[in-house]
Amino acid sequence: MRWKLSWRADPRALPLADAHYNRQKVGSPQFVPPGRCLVLLTPCERAYWVTSWPIAEYVKHAWAGAWVCSAFRNEGAGLSSELITEAVQATLWKWHAAPEPHGFVTFVDGTKVKHKRDPGRCFKKAGWTLLKERTKEEGLFVYQLKPCDMPPPAAPIDAQGTLFV
């Protein structure tokens, strides 16, 4: 495991958040959408991850109820596909069971990432499936990891165990 627990306004993660293409307001101390979240940062502070779990009734996309990777940026903390898998494991550690039937989704804007053969290729290498559907409003690529395809849970570095499950 290469992730440590962080929080929605961690100043150590702010430079990574500000460099992410989906950043709403650069420099704002909070960089996570409202609602339930898990924020992870590598000890070297060269990668961060945000899992959001929005309340289904307030979601406009077709995967309401799913966990959402709302931000992932890696600037040299290791292989992105491995970091993604470990972030999924940490999310399962926090919330125990993935939401059915959608599991985990992420949205990739192919016009704003470095030009690659496949936008979001690191998610594909981590076992996520590129769906044929795109988001209606922005036309973003959608990657999904179903609950049956998820790795086992694993605690982030220095995380405390839960007393009750």
Indicate which CATH number applies to the domain containing 22.
3.40.630.30
pLDDT tens, position by position, 114-141 = 766 788 999 999 999 999 988 877 889 9
The answer to whether position 164 is within a domain reads no
Tell if the pTM clears 0.85, that is, is over it.
Answer: yes
Name the domain count of the chain. Answer: 1
The answer to whether position 157 is within a domain reads no
pLDDT tens, position by position, 79-117 = 999 999 999 999 999 999 999 999 999 999 888 877 667
pLDDT of residue 22: 84
Angle at 41 (CA atoms; ends 47, 149), nearest 5 degrees: 80
The answer to whether position 132 is within a domain reads yes
pLDDT over 80 (residue 161): no
pLDDT tens, position by position, 15-74 = 999 999 888 889 899 999 888 999 999 999 999 999 999 887 888 888 889 999 999 999
Q: Across the chain, what does the average pLDDT equal?
A: 92
Strands of the sheet with 36-41, listed across from one edge: 4-5, 36-41, 47-53, 67-74, 104-108, 141-145, 129-134
The answer to whether position 161 is within a domain reads no
Are 53 and 95 spatial neighbours (Cβ–Cβ below 8 Å)? yes
Q: Quote the domain boundaries for residue 64.
A: 4-149
pLDDT of residue 56: 79
